[in-house]
Structures are given as C-alpha cells and as structure tokens.
Amino acid sequence: MKIAIIGAGAMGSLFGARLAPLCHVWLVDAWEEHIRAIQRDGIQLTNLDGSTQRVTVNATTNPEAVGDEVDWAIIFVKSYQTAQAAAWAAPMLKAGGLALTMQNGLGNLEVMADVLGAERCVQGVTSHGATLLGPGQVRHAGAAATYLATRPAITERVQRIAELFTRAGFETHLSDNLDSLVWGKLVINVGINALTAILRVRNGVLAEVASARALMEAAVDEAVAVARARGITVPYADARARTREVALATAANCSSMLADVLRGFPTEIDVINGAIVREGARLGVPTPVNQTLVHLIKALEATHAGRVA
C-alpha cells in the first residue's frame, strides 16, 4: 500500500513514523528544515513509555516527487491549508484512491470534497496526541481509539487501512456515522486548545488549576448545548469529566494551538471555538465564553510581533 501523508506536523510525523515500517509512506510538508532532517536522519520518535527510535521515512517538500498510484492521501495540515492539500493529493491518487482527513475542527471534509469529489473523501477521528520536539523529532503524547467513516462502496478499502493502522499501534474502528465522534472530539478541543494557547500551559494544567478548569468547563458546556441543538449526542455521558480526563491523559502535551501561538502562526480557532460560535448563532444558542476565547486568540495572532515577552 502506498500512502501520502500531507502535513508532517506532530500528528503527520507520528503516523508517518508508525506506518513507514509497514508500507510505502511519503511525508509531504513545506517546512524545509523539518523535511531535510527527516531525509538525513529519519524521524526520531519518542514513544509513550519514553523509549526512542529512529524511523526512515520518505519525505519531500515537492508534492510531485511522490508520483502517482497513491492508495490513501492522509490530510494532516492546518484547516486553512486543506484546499491546497487536497489539490496536491489529486494527481497522486490512483483510480479508486481515497483521501482521509483526521484534522481538528469542522468543515475540512467539505473543503476536500469541493476539490476531489465527495466520493473520494473519508472522515476520520483520532484522539492520539503528539508534540513536535524539533525538526525531525516527535513525541507520542497520548493514545486513544481512532475511528474511520465508511459507506458500502468503500467498506473494503477502509477496512484495509483500519487494519494497517491497528498494526501500526493505532487501535482503529469503522463507523457508518461519525457525527457523534467528530463532535465528541470537537467539544474536547474546544475546552483545551484555546485555553492552553492563551495561558501558555501544557494540557494537564487545565485539569489541575481550579480557575482554568472552570473556564474549560464553561466552554465545553456551551459546545455541548450547541451539539444538542443540532440533534447530536456526544459519545460520553459527562463532557466536563471527559475533557478533564483527556487533559490529564495528555498532561505533558503542548496543544497544536499553543504551538501555533508561540511561533506566531495562524491558528485553527475558526474551525474549533469559532465553529461553536457560528453554529450557536445559527441555532440561537448563546456562546459567550467561546466568543471571548475566539477574540483572545485572534488578538494573540494579531499582536505577536509587538509582544513584550
């Protein structure tokens, strides 16, 4: 099986390192220093138990280098790069090849479908956590199940990639309705990502500090209310408790939004907390905490160059 992973950030590098010993994998990313390090030394993967290993992976900044006949293009870019990633994937995919998004937030599948056609796109949800430690270095920071959507026409192909993921150490299941799981992940991201970026702390702090926990829970409550208004039931009985559990299970992890803020990069706030605000406005559900978090992250993005410290 030939797989192109478009977006070699923390999650793309984690999946690339785990899948490369089992099949033909290419990592595609515009970060030249990171790609050069992988080309030279492979990926240094720090496992959950603290052990480390180096894994040889094909890596390039040029999508054309991947060639064609790709069975699966896995999209791990930031949400604002999704259309470009789908355009890169289009000439790679063989007849019958599929593109899989396991990105954060809402709307990525629809963007991919606009470029590739809905019949070639698959939604996935993974709760694994990873942190980039430097060019060519990634730490596996948390593990949980992965789910892939399926439909009758592609079930066999999705089953094969699910089996491959499981062999690579990612427990993977198929689902014919991912809405609950997508929103389940979204609610947790709503509680964790923006707050860690604003406070500049690792995930675990949100569960340990009472004032931070209160803000996290308030954002989560709003997200659950919006989900209910949409007729979606999240896949856990207590959203507050589940978000705290995830924050503790990934306590050492720096969220992707924190990493973006620290580097002065655009964030994915619009498809996470921003999605809750938009859906809340549409459905008549108040979301003042999430609106405040959106404003704060937008302000951090806009003032990075003039920050005192």
Predicted confidence (pLDDT) per residue in 212-248, tens digit: 999 999 999 999 999 999 999 999 999 999 999 999 9
Residues 165 and 215 both lie in one domain? no
> What is this structure's pTM?
0.90
Considering the domain boundaries, does residue 308 fall inside one? no
171 and 54 in a common domain: yes
Mean pLDDT of 28-47: 97
Query: Which residue of the set 2, 78, 94, 185 is catalytic?
Result: 185
User: Could you tell me if 188 and 63 lie in one domain?
Assistant: no
- Is residue 135 included in any domain, yes or no? yes
Whether the pLDDT of residue 13 is over 80: the answer is yes
Structural domain count, the chain: 2
Q: Which residue, of 176, 192, 208, is where some domain finishes?
A: 176
Decide which of 140, 155, 176 is a domain's last residue: 176
| Residue 91 sits in the same domain as residue 9 | yes
DSSP calls for 165-221: HHHTT--EEEES--HHHHHHHHHHHHHHHHHHHHHT--HHHHHHSHHHHHHHHHHHH
User: Which CATH number characterizes residue 215's domain?
Assistant: 1.10.1040.10
DSSP state of 227: H
- Supply the mean pLDDT for the chain: 95
Same domain, 169 and 208: no
The residue range of the domain holding 249 is 180-303
Decide if 248 is inside a domain.
yes
Beta bridge partners of 140: 130
Reduce the DSSP state of residue 94 to 3 states and report it: strand
Strands 121-126, 52-55: parallel, antiparallel or unpaired by DSSP?
Answer: unpaired
Provide the percentage of residues in the chain whose pLDDT is more than 90. Answer: 91
Which residue carries 């924190």 as its tokens? 258
Are residues 138 and 103 both part of a single domain?
A: yes
Residue 169 resides in a domain: yes
CATH number of 56's domain:
3.40.50.720
Question: Measured between alpha carbons, how far is 128 from 246 in angstroms, rounded to an integer?
Answer: 10
In percent, how much of the chain has pLDDT > 70? Answer: 100
For residue 309, is it within any domain?
no
Whether 25 is covered by a domain: the verdict is: yes
Residues 42 and 167 in one domain: yes
Dihedral, CA of residue 82, residue 87, residue 92 and residue 95, to nearest 10: 100
Residue 2 falls in the annotated catalytic set: no
Distance of alpha carbon 146 from alpha carbon 183, whole angstroms: 14
Q: What pLDDT does 301 receive?
A: 96
Q: How does DSSP classify residue 163? A: H
What does the DSSP assignment read for 111-148? HHHHHH-GGGEEEEEE--EEEEEETTEEEEEE---EEE
pLDDT digits (tens, 9 = 90+) for 264-300: 999 999 999 999 999 999 999 999 999 999 999 999 9
Per-residue confidence (pLDDT) for residue 49, from 0 to 100: 93
In a domain, 202, yes or no: yes
Report how far residue 198's alpha carbon sits from residue 204's, in angstroms, rounded to the nearest whole number.
Answer: 14
Residue 302 has pLDDT above 80, yes or no: yes
Q: How confident is the model at residue 252 (pLDDT cuts 50, 70, 90)?
A: confident
User: Is residue 163 a part of any domain in this protein?
Assistant: yes
Is the same domain home to 162 and 191?
A: no
Please identify, among 160, 176, 192, the residue that sits at the C-terminal boundary of a domain. 176
Residues 124, 187 within the same domain: no
- What are the pLDDT digits (tens) for 56-98? 999 999 999 999 999 999 999 999 999 999 999 999 999 999 9
pLDDT at 105 over 80: yes
Judged against a pLDDT cut of 90, whether residue 188 lies above it is answered with yes
pLDDT at 142 over 90: no
* 198 lies in the same domain as 288: yes
Q: Are strands 137-142 and 129-134 parallel, antiparallel or unpaired?
A: antiparallel
Same-domain pairing of 206 and 148? no
CB 81 within 8 A of CB 256: no
Kindly report the number of other CB atoms within 10 A of residue 56's CB atom: 14
Please indicate, yes or no, whether residues 23 and 74 belong to a single structural domain of this protein: yes
